[in-house]
Chain A
Amino acid sequence: DTGVSQNPRHKITKRGQNVTFRCDPISEHNRLYWYRQTLGQGPEFLTYFQNEAQLEKSRLLSDRFSAERPKGSFSTLEIQRTEQGDSAMYLCASSLGDRSAGNGYTFGSGTRLTVV
């Protein structure tokens, strides 16, 4: 298993353009999370999937953001009409197990988005 894979690693886009990121979790992990991290800050929760169901969305996730996990495997995060404030590292993580387990997340390497 190669861990959690995110593509692309870096994305530079012009303000107003749409961007889409992909995350491939560890194959047996049924839970998938998206976080956003800006420089010098901790990751902020965006959304969570259990299998293909999106069970929670943060208020940070405006109408311009949408995430899918169509077959319960890989996930995509799309940002429409990007703004400079969207510039950040977008982290994907996956996990397996119930809430009583000491299972931490496994994070991907992230996609760094720069909006110019």
Chain B
Amino acid sequence: GQNIDQPTEMTATEGAIVQINCTYQTSGFNGLFWYQQHAGEAPTFLSYNVLDGLEEKGRFSSFLSRSKGYSYLLLKELQMKDSASYLCAVRTLKAAGNKLTFGGGTRVLVKP
């Protein structure tokens, strides 16, 4: 099976930076995804990494190290609307179709 770990909760101040870590153990790794989920809403796609390195998209960046089984999502210039859960998900070559396995999510609370 797969083991995906991320912190349960983080708190940060508006305007600051927060880094959400995700570690995973899997065979046949074929991509890591980050999703944002506001309370009571659907998860929305944020980023995708399949090769080592940093992917930047505006205020959000995601990093991957396949040898370490590690990724992080970096949120810069935090805004109140960034308060949400952030889900790390892994896809493997053995998985049927594009099936993703999700971690438990990290709830980020942005304070003024």
Contact A43 B87 (CB under 8 A): yes
Q: Using Cβ atoms and an 8 Å threshold, which residues of chain B touch A50? A: 96-97
Tell me, in angstroms, the Cα distance from A56 to B96 when the chains sit together: 7
Contact B41 A105 (CB under 8 A): no
Tell me, in angstroms, the Cα distance from A56 to B103 when the chains sit together: 20
C-beta contact mask, B84-103 vs A, less than 8 Å → 1, else 0?
A: 00010101010111111111
Given A31-B98, A100-B30, A105 and B45 contact (CB-CB distance below 8 Å): yes
Q: Is A85's beta carbon under 8 Å from chain B?
A: no
Q: Is A103's beta carbon under 8 Å from chain B?
A: yes
Q: Using Cβ atoms and an 8 Å threshold, which residues of chain B touch A102? A: 31, 48, 50
Q: Using Cβ atoms and an 8 Å threshold, which residues of chain A touch B95? A: 99
Segment 43-100 of A: residues with Cβ below 8 Å from B = 43-45, 48, 50, 55-56, 91, 95, 97, 99-100
| B→A interface (CB under 8 Å) | 4, 8, 30-31, 33, 35, 41-45, 48, 50, 87, 89, 91, 93, 95-105, 107
